[in-house]
Amino acid sequence: AQRVTQPEKLLSVFKGAPVELKCNYSYSGSPELFWYVQYSRQRLQLLLRHISRESIKGFTADLNKGETSFHLKKPFAQEEDSAMYYCALRVTSGTYKYIFGTGTRLKVLA
């Protein structure tokens, strides 16, 4: 079965603390993984994709095929990072479809 699991609904950290938002996936094919973010009163938008191996707004995510994980990390959280974060898997076998996790709300406390 194709599935994306984000075990934490809410994650609260203090400003300056490290952040790790967990994402695990289940997919037998070659995964395309993404993190999307939704700031308050804004549209859902792409944060980063695993193929790029880039750091966006200080966030990085490494695909671990052995553990089927794609955790999102940032060494020092900022208040402006407070948002809803969704991990997404793009299924490419046959036809294209995105599967989203249920999301994790990150609250960065001052």
Q: Which residues bind another protein (CB under 8 A)?
A: 6, 32, 34, 43-46, 49, 51-52, 86, 90, 92, 95-103
Q: State residue 26 phi and psi, 5-degree precision.
A: -130, 115
* Separation CA 29–CA 77 (nearest Å): 33
- Nearest approach, Cβ of residue 76 and another protein (Å): 26
Q: Toward another protein, which CB reaches closer, 19 or 37? A: 37
Q: Toward another protein, which CB reaches closer, 9 or 110? A: 9
Task: With beta carbons less than 8 A apart as the criterion, state whether 72 and 23 touch.
Answer: yes
- Nearest approach, Cβ of residue 68 and another protein (Å): 18
What does the chain come to in residues?
110
- Nearest approach, Cβ of residue 100 and another protein (Å): 4
Torsion-angle region of residue 81: left (phi > 0), alpha (psi -120 to 50) or beta? alpha
- Nearest approach, Cβ of residue 18 and another protein (Å): 24
Residue position matching structure tokens 């707004």: 57
Q: Toward another protein, which CB reaches closer, 81 or 103? A: 103
